[in-house]
């Protein structure tokens, strides 16, 4: 039988607010345990939450970016359960009325566009962390993360393959970083993903029973976990069994998913509106004000790059992978006036170096001004494209800007025709046989002369002048 996969993703994106969603404590990652937890985060008796409006601003920004309906009136609710890293014994979240309602995101699957629905995105607070090592049979609790704002983004079950799921997740990741609302750091848990996966016979209307996969916190694991889960479910059904609704944990070391809890064991969270917080009311002015802070979105930017800089769809895609990358490109292109050249260098040499050293564009040792400086020296023929690669590597290694490197290493192109002529003459004098061949009609030998001249000039002779002079002399 042919099977169809149905996937929906739930993403928790930590919002990049300076302080927590309901307290004034800092949200910085990596501080000493419990140094960023105030009385409110510790849930001391008597404390009360106060909404950080910056978190709402970021949620609205996201909603506007995905063309969503915004609830003018959304409600905070308490999700009640006991856990040591949940200090109040409940998590403040949004339940019936989330701030962001239906929206969508478009993914590109091998040139074909597909729209993925987003059911909702709601604000909530993160829990703390339980630490189980180094406590001699006890557990440690770190509440630094408790109260960090999260935007939980729930997709429709619109994805039909692990590839689509990853494409969606990457688009979402790109978007929240573009919007500046989440740093997207998956290792530090700033961008976390759960997947709901089910299978059904191809052509069947209704959904199969789904499993929720947890602990899939990299793009690669999302793909592998879903792939494993699809096979597992098909095996269960084809073996005459039934898929049960449950939560499953992905084990990346063993590359398999294993049951965590079944539907019967699912907790009753006893949601109810939080009486400590009034509804979040969005005025039209507030929404419009947020709209003015929206950056150009990835899709629009891609289209503009193709149109304005005459880039290929592929180059436009590479250069808009992040807002920083796009800014880097535009800064470079504007400084040099040659977008194609800038695009080639950024998607070529620069990207290769970034990948090699595992760096993000914003951490590149060669900034856009330095790259533009280098490209300008190609344009004004101070150096050749080949020498430029050498200069680039030197800049990457911290040896200064292009002019300093060219100067220090004496890489300046030789454009003095007298000097070039001298080398050409020497080469021709030493290559009587080849000159004979050339003059006898074997024009392919021409490349040999060029190579010899460049070699003699240590690559610094201006290739155009070399060509011209060689032709003139060989004619004679």
**Interface ranges with another protein (CB under 8 A):** 39, 42-51, 78, 80, 82, 84, 87-90, 141, 268, 270-272, 275-278
CB of 350 to another protein, least distance (A): 48
Nearer to another protein, 16 or 78 (CB): 78
Going by C-alpha positions, the residue among 200, 202, 203, 179 that lies closest to residue 191 is: 179
CB of 76 to another protein, least distance (A): 10
Nearer to another protein, 87 or 149 (CB): 87
Distances (CA, A) of 400 to 93, 97, 101, 395: 51, 56, 51, 6
C-alpha–C-alpha distance, residues 42 and 147, integer Å? 10
CB of 44 to another protein, least distance (A): 7
CB of 127 to another protein, least distance (A): 13
Nearer to another protein, 47 or 404 (CB): 47
Nearer to another protein, 86 or 167 (CB): 86
CB of 393 to another protein, least distance (A): 55
Nearer to another protein, 86 or 153 (CB): 86
CB of 272 to another protein, least distance (A): 6
Nearer to another protein, 77 or 383 (CB): 77
CB of 91 to another protein, least distance (A): 11
CB of 2 to another protein, least distance (A): 38
Nearer to another protein, 270 or 439 (CB): 270
Nearer to another protein, 45 or 239 (CB): 45
Q: Give the number of other Cβ atoms within 10 Å of residue 50's Cβ.
A: 13
Nearer to another protein, 6 or 38 (CB): 38
CB of 285 to another protein, least distance (A): 18
């Amino acid at each position: 039988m042919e099977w169809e996969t149905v996937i929906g993703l739930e993403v928790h994106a930590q919002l990049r607010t300076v302080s927590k969603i309901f307290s004034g404590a800092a949200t910085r990652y990596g501080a000493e345990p419990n140094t960023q937890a105030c009385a409110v985060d510790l849930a001391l008796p008597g404390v009360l939450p106060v909404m950080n409006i910056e978190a709402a601003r970021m949620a609205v920004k996201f909603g506007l970016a995905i063309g969503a309906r915004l609830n003018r009136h959304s409600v905070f609710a308490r999700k009640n359960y006991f856990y040591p890293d949940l200090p109040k014994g409940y998590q403040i979240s949004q339940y019936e009325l989330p701030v962001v309602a239906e929206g969508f995101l478009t993914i590109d699957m091998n040139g074909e566009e597909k729209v993925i629905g987003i059911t909702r995105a709601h604000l909530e607070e993160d829990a703390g962390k339980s630490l189980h090592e180094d406590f001699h049979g006890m557990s440690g609790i770190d509440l630094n993360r408790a109260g960090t704002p999260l935007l939980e983004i729930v997709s429709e079950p619109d994805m039909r393959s692990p590839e689509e799921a990853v494409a969606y997740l990457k688009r979402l990741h790109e978007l929240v970083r573009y919007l500046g609302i989440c740093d997207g750091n998956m290792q530090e848990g700033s961008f976390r993903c759960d997947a709901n996966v089910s299978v059904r016979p191809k052509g069947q209307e209704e959904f199969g029973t789904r499993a929720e996969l947890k602990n899939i916190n990299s793009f690669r694991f999302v793909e592998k976990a879903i792939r494993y889960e699809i096979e597992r479910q098909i095996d269960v059904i084809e073996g005459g069994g039934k898929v049960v609704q449950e939560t499953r944990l992905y084990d990346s070391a063993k590359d398999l998913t294993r049951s965590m809890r079944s539907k019967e064991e699912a907790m009753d969270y006893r949601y109810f509106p939080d009486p400590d917080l009034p509804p979040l009311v969005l005025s039209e002015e507030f929404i419009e004000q947020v709209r003015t802070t929206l950056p150009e979105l990835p899709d629009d930017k891609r289209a503009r790059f193709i149109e304005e800089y005459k880039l290929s769809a592929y180059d436009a895609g590479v250069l808009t992978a992040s807002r920083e990358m796009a800014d880097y490109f535009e800064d470079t292109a504007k400084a040099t006036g040659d977008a194609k050249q800038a695009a080639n260098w950024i998607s070529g040499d620069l990207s290769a170096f970034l990948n090699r050293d595992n760096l993000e564009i914003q951490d590149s040792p060669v900034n856009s001004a330095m790259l533009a400086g280098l490209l300008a020296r190609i344009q004004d023929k101070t150096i050749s494209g080949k020498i430029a690669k050498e200069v680039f590597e030197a800049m990457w290694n911290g040896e200064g800007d292009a002019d300093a490197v060219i100067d220090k290493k004496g890489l300046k192109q030789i454009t003095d025709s007298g000097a070039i002529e001298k080398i050409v003459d020497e080469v021709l004098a030493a290559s009587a046989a080849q000159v004979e061949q050339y003059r006898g009609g074997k024009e392919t030998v021409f490349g040999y002369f060029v190579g010899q001249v460049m070699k003699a000039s240590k690559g610094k002779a201006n290739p155009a002048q070399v060509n011209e002079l060689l032709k003139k002399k060989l004619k004679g």
